[in-house]
Amino acid sequence: MNFLKRLFGSKDNKNKKPSVADERGQFMPEVPLPTDEKFTINFKKNGGKFLYCESMEEVLECFQKILAENSWSTKEVCCLDASLINHFKTFQLEGRKNCFGTNLLLTRCENLVADNGSLMFSSNQIKESKLHDLPDNFIVFATTSQLIDNLGEGLHGIKSKNKAQIPTNITTIKHFNRQEEKDFLSYGSTSKNLYLLLLEDL
């Protein structure tokens, strides 16, 4: 995840010189972008907001800042994942079976898809809820090892990880600006105001 470390100024990389990879002639074939760089570009193009974190302490600190910035209280948070509640135990979040009456979903995802900047979810994270039944605001906790190139790779990974019981309700979110719902190209898709807390684990 060298690109993310360069972009966000990793403590380890602050003194390193920039790479010479950009010094290419204009007629040279295009070099394919690394997965992390491609995801970052496409995710931000889709309107997503993300915070790159090097430790769980940074993740918790960013979570607190997102709540404060939006004046959200922990009582408004829906979390369907008991192990995630344990990771965020300092906030004393309540476990829920559904998100009715809440303003914000704290969740994991299956994968971060680089070629279109989308996030892939399944029943492992959102149970059997449809996207339009979930809150408009998402905070997604993910790790850099979840970055993949395309949806096909993600589906293959889900099948190989869950051989005993393949999860249902597999879906993606690609649009992260509410106004995009008026856009013809995003017709039929659900958009969410989404923050991604991305933890370095590679």
Q: How far is CA 54 from the centre of its chain?
A: 15
- Tens digits of residue pLDDT in 91-110: 999 989 899 989 999 999 99
CATH class of the 99-202 domain in this structure: alpha beta
Interval 14-68: pLDDT, tens: 555 555 455 666 777 777 889 999 999 999 999 999 999 999 999 999 999 999 9
Is pLDDT above 80 for 155? yes
Q: pTM for this structure?
A: 0.81
Please give the average per-residue pLDDT across 62-88, as a whole number: 95
What pLDDT, on the 0 to 100 scale, is given for residue 101?
87
C-beta contacts of 62-67 below 8 A and 24+ residues apart = 62/197, 63/88, 63/91, 63/106, 63/139, 63/197, 64/91, 66/139, 66/195
DSSP H or E stretch at residue 155:
helix 151-161
Contact by Cβ (8 Å): 147, 196: no
- Checking if the pLDDT of 196 tops 90, the result is yes
Q: Which residues contact 74 (CB under 8 A, 6 or more apart)?
A: 67, 91, 92, 93
pLDDT score for 184: 45
Show the tokens assigned to 193: 């105001």
